[in-house]
Amino acid sequence: MTPSKAAFFALGLIPVAALAQQSPGREALKRACTGDYMQHCSEYTPGGPEVEACFKANLKKLTPACSAAITAYKQEQRATRRVSEAR
């Protein structure tokens, strides 16, 4: 597994099925948050709930780019769910 994929699993933000999809939000997370994961939360097992908790606990320490990417990704996921539910 590449370090960037490991970081996204670790972020707890990307489900396994989403790896097959190419979304702008996922790419933004990849670019913006890998360093933050490595700096603040890499001691936690990728994909575990501890990583999401770590990011929340370190929210003020995250780079502005990572914080913005997380917010955008969450908004994208909510919009995707709404479209799926409307079908």
How much is the pLDDT for 57? 95
Given this model, what pLDDT does residue 17 score?
41
Q: How many Å is the Cα radius of gyration of the chain?
A: 13
pLDDT score for 27: 82
Name residues whose C-beta falls within 8 Å of residue 49's C-beta, 6 or more positions apart in sequence. Answer: 12
DSSP annotation of 58 reads T
User: Counting beta carbons within 10 angstroms of the beta carbon of residue 25, is it exposed (0 to 12), middle (13 to 18) or buried (19 or more)?
Assistant: buried
Q: Enter the tokens of residue 37.
A: 């994961």
Note the pTM of the prediction, 2 decimals.
Answer: 0.66
